[in-house]
Structure 1
Amino acid sequence: MNPEQWVEAVEGVMEAHRNAKNAPDIIRYFRNQFGSFGLKNEDRRKLTKQFIVATKQFSQKELVETIELLWSRCEREFQHTGMELIDHHRKKFDRSIKKVLQYMISHKSWWDTVDFIASHTVGHTFKTNQLRQEDLYEWNESDDLWLIRTSILAQLKYKSYTDWALLQELIIPHLDHKDFFIRKAIGWALREYSKTEPNLVLDFVENHTMSGLSQREALKIVNAGKMK
């Protein structure tokens, strides 16, 4: 089975399980930017699990071709399947993974795919040196807000392994950013790290000017602890 046949097979099974009742609500949820088969995530995963397993022998080139085909499709379930496909095969890639991840982040961009890619695949491949600090800095300096958001969220699940100095360097240039998704990412990244180092996060917030949204998000856990 080649990439085109694989995508057609995935399309066939999702089409067979299309939920016309759910689709309009999902499309509205994504602000009418994408189509939808009306499938809930858990249902889509059950339907596509066997197909992802079937890509075991796919080469890097075939995986990249598959991603491009999935990203060319209208329904959002294709991109959700693609992000999980690459995460499943992330160990097959070397430094070349940057190009495909950047493509996925920068095309048909919205928080649902970007946040998964950032916190899962980017997070994992940064740990294994498939992605490097220079890549996060490059994305952080981009004009693409989704690449900026990804650079900030890359260490989201790192807990005590978070490079605090790096996280600050990625956040500080964007403290006055006007976009909701960047402000939210700053607060989210700080909030997650506050679970590990609340005093460092509190000190950072007290010593830097940032949006109210970023500050509220950053201190949610810290402030909740103070109220106990």
Structure 2
Amino acid sequence: MSPYLQALKPLFEQQANATQAEPMKQYMRNQFEFLGIKRPIQDALLKQFVAEHGLPELAQLESIVRELWAWPEREFHYAALTFLGRHQKQLTPDAVPLLEYLITTQAWWDTVDAIASHNVGRLLRQYPDCRDGVIGGWRWSDNFWLRRTTLLFQLGYKAETNQALLFGLVEQNSQSKEFFIQKAIGWALREYSKVAPEAVQTFVAETPLAALSRREALKWLKAKGKLEPI
């Protein structure tokens, strides 16, 4: 164990709460173990830790993130993403293999969605020339978490969303029976509908989508009374 994490691990373990751990574990469908530390307390612990020990050096970031990722308790995975996020502006395309590892290992919606919209989305915004290579590889993956990432990485792009890419990815995945893909399609289209309502409504009307995807895609437009007859 790295000296840096030797100081972090007991700080978290001292706050373990078995009573809270069980419902947290159940909420994540028993995919992971939990110490039972709620997010506000986790955030406070990390803030205290960083104040005393500093952030990981960029050169050690990947090894520390991977070590945290290998531990069974989910709180340590969240800590890894916090450290990664604090170094986001320093990340380069060299971080793509690490991001792919984090998306496909210990994978569940809570971490995958954060990595997709924050880490991958911001990295490819900073290095747009790398976008087609990264997304072009992941979009054909058998791993549906990577495909979910391709659907969600533009969530924060708003008017800068590449519409052709988004719609193409949706069409490619439109026949998927996977819940997490159907849900991602709806989420991505719903967010984009906030800046391109007519384009999204027309696309949804003309594209065969799962009922879940269609419902989620039009939810915001319906709530705002912006659905137009087509």
TM-score range (shorter-chain normalised) is over 0.9
Q: Matched residues in 2 for 1:205 and 1:5: separation?
A: 53
AA aligned to 1:36 is F
RMSD across aligned positions (CA)? 1.7
Aligned 8 A contact 2:182 2:210 in 1: yes
- Asked if 1:139 corresponds to 2:138, the answer is yes
Runs (4+) of structure 1 moved beyond 6 Å? none
- 1:31-70 to structure 2, matched below 5 A, reads 31-52=29-50, 54-56=53-55, 58-60=57-59, 62-70=60-68
Aligned residue in 2 for 1:201: 200
Q: Which amino acid aligns with 2:17?
A: N
Q: State the Cα distance separating 1:49 from its structure 2 match.
A: 2.1
The number of equivalent residue pairs is 225
The offset of 1:132, in angstroms, is 1.7
Unaligned residue ranges in structure 1 (runs of 5+): none
Q: Deviation of residue 92 (structure 1)?
A: 2.2
Aligned to 2:209: 210
Within 2, Cα distance between the matches of 1:175 and 1:82?
33
Query: CA contact under 8 A between 2:93 and 2:123: conserved in structure 1?
Result: no
1:55 to 1:97, Cα distance in 2 relative to 1, 3 A: farther
| 8 Å CA contact retained: 2:197, 2:221 | yes
Could you report, residue by residue, the CA deviation over 1:44-72 in whole angstroms, capped at 9, with x for unpaired residues?
01101243464546133x11111111011
Normalised to the residue count of structure 1, the TM-score between the two structures is 0.93
Q: Secondary structure at the match of 1:141?
A: coil
Counterpart in 2 of 1:160? 159
SS of structure 1 residue aligned to 2:19: coil
Question: Which secondary structure state, in structure 1, belongs to the residue aligned with residue 225 of structure 2?
Answer: helix
User: What do the CA deviations read for 1:156-188 (whole angstroms, capped 9, x no partner)?
Assistant: 011111111111122111000010000000000
Matched to 1:187, the amino acid is: G
Compute the TM-score of the two structures, normalised by the length of structure 2.
0.93
Instruction: Specify whether residues 185 and 109 from structure 1 end up closer, same or farther in structure 2 by C-alpha distance, changes over 3 A only.
Output: same
For residue 15 of structure 1, the aligned residue among 13, 16, 24 is 13
Percent identical pairs in the alignment equals 38
Distance in 1, matches of 2:81 and 2:50, equals: 11
Gaps of 5+ in 2: none
- Equivalent position of 2:185 in the other structure: 186
Match runs of 1:102-117 below 5 Å: 102-117=100-115
In the alignment, the residues of structure 1 paired with residue 191 and residue 226 of structure 2 have an alpha-carbon distance, to the nearest angstrom, of 19
